Amino acid sequence: MNIQRFSAERRVRIAGTLVLIQFTMLGVITTFAVTEVTAVNHQYLAFELAGVALGLLVIAGAGISLRPSLRVSPIPKSGAPLIESGIYKRVRHPMYLGVILIGFGLAGYANSTIPWICELILVLALNIKARFEDALLLEIHPESAHYQMHVSRILPCMGGSCRTTCIVK
């Protein structure tokens, strides 16, 4: 994503829009899931609970590693270091992975088409948000190019991101 042409105002608007989409979709999914609480039969309850629990664990692990740089906006905190330790060794955006896992668990629990559509929109929005954040991080931390080449964006070991050797040309 080429963001050099974006003004600071436009970057803030893009970031705000992506955060709004993220929380709106998660809110709709959660609302549908809450309406299903009284339902007697949940065929895949163990998987739904596992998705939510794993998502919460991933977010907790990411929060611990990201503590000095933590924020909802994809715009990096001024002066924040590039975090490459903890869960960030395996995934560049584990918070987004956690939100996606929670969304999957809740959408499954909601047992309706609308939450699944919202989950798809959520996944797409978080992927765009991750790309946007990566581009912003490259401006602040040019050394993050190597990190971005070797650590997958949202899902661990996707797209050859688990390479252990690096040949720089």
Residue 150 reports pLDDT greater than 90 = no
Residue 69 amino acid letter? S
Q: What is the DSSP letter of 6?
A: S
What structural domains and CATH numbers belong to the chain?
Answer: 10-150 (1.20.120.1630)
Residue 47 reports pLDDT greater than 60 = yes
Query: For the segment 13-25, what is each residue's pLDDT rounded down to a tens digit?
Result: 999 999 999 999 9
With helix as H, strand as E and coil as C, how does 27-91 read?
Answer: HHHHHHHHHCCCCCCCCCHHHHHHHHHHHHHHHHHHHHHHHHHCCCCCCCCCCCCCCCCHHHHCE
Query: For the segment 131-147, what is each residue's pLDDT rounded down to a tens digit?
Result: 999 999 999 999 999 89
| Per-residue pLDDT at 160 | 57
The SS3 of residue 1 is coil
Query: For the segment 22-42, what is each residue's pLDDT rounded down to a tens digit?
Result: 999 999 999 999 998 877 777
Query: For the segment 63-91, what is each residue's pLDDT rounded down to a tens digit?
Result: 999 887 888 999 998 888 999 989 999 99
Closest CA to 98 of 66, 69, 134: 66
Q: What is the DSSP letter of 108?
A: H
